[in-house]
Structure 1
């Protein structure tokens, strides 16, 4: 899966939340200072060319919607991150974040609970 630039990922975050939207609707959801319409429109077209979004015509405009779910992208990104920085070892990656972020005992217990849930399903 192709990676997204920071700007592309920001647009995708809004499209994932909105599920479908015009460029103007995406801009409405963005924080101040809002980017120019042409900037967002260009990024959306790039996302379309990369296969992340598609559109349907509505009147004279377009309504864009994600083709890749947030879950799919998150999973692919996590795998690539683990492969590039931790030789594919999720254990090393989690250990790194435990040390860097100084996780609380509650955070660790929550992680163990999630692991147990995933083992059962």
Structure 2
């Protein structure tokens, strides 16, 4: 974990900052550009490590650019949340029970929206 102003930041928080910088840019960015766009001052090696981890997780991709790589997100924030939901669903052997409990915990408005989306998908 990186230390910033005497505080320790979790890897997840830093990864989220990297993703936010890439989403805000709207185009592929070098590690140096990502580092400049981040709100917290990080070492070059920390940013490179974060980009490598996100790439290994399949959350960002890269292509040759300049003297190294340029990085870009594979999904927007909504797509990332959906990917996480799928990942959690895949981790349990009883998908039906997980889905049942998920639906049971939905608000009335969310349940109605889910029904609308499912009906729309059937068309």
Q: TM-score range by the shorter chain?
A: 0.5 to 0.7
For the 8 Å contact 2:103–2:111, the answer to whether it is kept is no
**TM-score using structure 1 length:** 0.59
Residue 65 of structure 2 is matched in structure 1 by 57
Query: 1:72 Cα shift?
Result: 5.2
Unaligned runs of 5+ residues in structure 1 are none
> Which structure has the highest strand share of the two?
2
Query: 1:78 Cα shift?
Result: 0.5
Unaligned runs of 5+ residues in structure 2 are 1-10
Bigger relative contact order (CA 8 A; separation at least 6): 1
- Between Structure 1 and Structure 2, how many residues are aligned? 105
Query: 1:13 Cα shift?
Result: 4.0
Over aligned residues, Cα RMSD in angstroms?
A: 3.2
Residue 116 of structure 1 is matched in structure 2 by 116
**TM-score using structure 2 length:** 0.58
Instruction: Find the residue that maps to 2:41 and give its secondary structure.
Output: coil
Give the counterpart of 1:22 among 5, 11, 30: 30
